[in-house]
Amino acid sequence: MINWRYCGMVDKTAVGQNITIHGWIKKNRKLGSLIFLDVYDRYGLVQVVVEENNKYFQQIYSTPKESVVKIFGQVNLRKSPNIKIKNGDIEILLKEFTLISKSETTPIIVEEITDALEDTRLKYRYLDLRRSSVQKNIILRSKIINSLRNYLVKQDFIEVETPYLSKPTPEGARDYLVPTRSNPNSFYALPQSPQIYKQLLMVAGFLKYFQVARCFRDEDLRADRQPEFTQLDIEMSFVDETTIMQNIEKMLWSMMKEVFDITIKIPFKTISYIDAVNNYGSDKPDLRFDLKLNDGNEYFKSSACKIFSSNLKKNNVIKYIIIDEIIDKKEIEVLRKLAKDNKAFDLIFLALKNNEVSGSIKNIIEHDIVRDIFSRHNISNGTIFIVADKLKIVNQALGSVRNELGSFLKLKDPKDFKFCWITDWPLYEYSEEEKKYVAAHHPFTSPTLDCMNSFDTDQISAKARAYDIVLNGYEIGGGSIRITSAEVQQRMFKAIGLERQEIEKKFGFMLEAFKYGVPPHGGIALGLDRLVMLLTNSESIRDVIAFPKNSHGNDLMMGSPGEVNKSSLDELHIIINK
Confidence of residue 270 (pLDDT cuts 50, 70, 90): very high
Confidence of residue 222 (pLDDT cuts 50, 70, 90): low
More confident residue, 539 or 424: 424
Q: Which of 341-350, 401-410, 463-472, 561-570 has the lowest mean pLDDT?
A: 561-570
Tell me the mean pLDDT in the region 214-238: 89
User: Does the structure show a pLDDT above 70 at 170?
Assistant: no
Helix (H, G, I), strand (E, B) or coil at 53: coil
User: Does the structure show a pLDDT above 90 at 182?
Assistant: no
Percent of the chain residues past pLDDT 70, beyond the cut: 98
**Residue 553 region by backbone torsions, left for phi larger than 0, else alpha for psi between -120 and 50, else beta:** left
Confidence of residue 237 (pLDDT cuts 50, 70, 90): very high
User: Does the structure show a pLDDT above 90 at 433?
Assistant: no
> What pLDDT sits at residue 1?
59
Taking only the tens place, the pLDDT of each residue in 26-58 is 999 999 999 999 999 999 999 999 999 999 999
Query: Could you say which DSSP state residue 544 is in?
Result: G
The DSSP line for 441-510 is S-TTBPBPGGGTTTTTT-TTT-BBSEEEEEETTEEEEEEEEBP--HHHHHHHHHHTT--HHHHHHHHHHH
Taking only the tens place, the pLDDT of each residue in 359-400 is 999 999 999 999 999 999 999 999 999 999 999 999 999 999
Phi and psi at 91, nearest 5°, equal -150, 165
Task: Calculate the average pLDDT of the chain.
Answer: 94
For residues 75 and 19, the answer to whether their CB atoms sit within 8 Å is yes
More confident residue, 84 or 135: 135
Cα angle value 222/224/228 (rounded, 5°): 90
Tell me the mean pLDDT in the region 96-122: 94
Phi and psi at 108, nearest 5°, equal -130, 155
> What pLDDT sits at residue 56?
97
Tell me the mean pLDDT in the region 519-540: 96
Beta carbons within 8 Å of 401's beta carbon, 6+ residues apart: 281, 321, 335, 338, 339, 347, 385, 387
Confidence of residue 223 (pLDDT cuts 50, 70, 90): low
> What pLDDT sits at residue 84?
84
Helix (H, G, I), strand (E, B) or coil at 278: helix
- From first CA to last CA, the distance across the chain in angstroms is 64
More confident residue, 317 or 564: 317
Q: Of 338, 442, 433, which Cα lies nearest the Cα of 387?
A: 338
pTM here? Answer: 0.93
Beta carbons within 8 Å of 78's beta carbon, 6+ residues apart: 47, 88, 89, 90, 91
User: Does the structure show a pLDDT above 90 at 521?
Assistant: yes
398 membership: H or E segment, kind and range: helix 391-408
Query: 548-552: which pairs have CB atoms within 8 A and are 24 or more residues apart?
Result: 548/122, 548/226, 549/221, 549/226, 549/227, 549/228, 550/118, 550/119, 550/122, 551/221, 551/222, 552/221
Confidence of residue 171 (pLDDT cuts 50, 70, 90): low
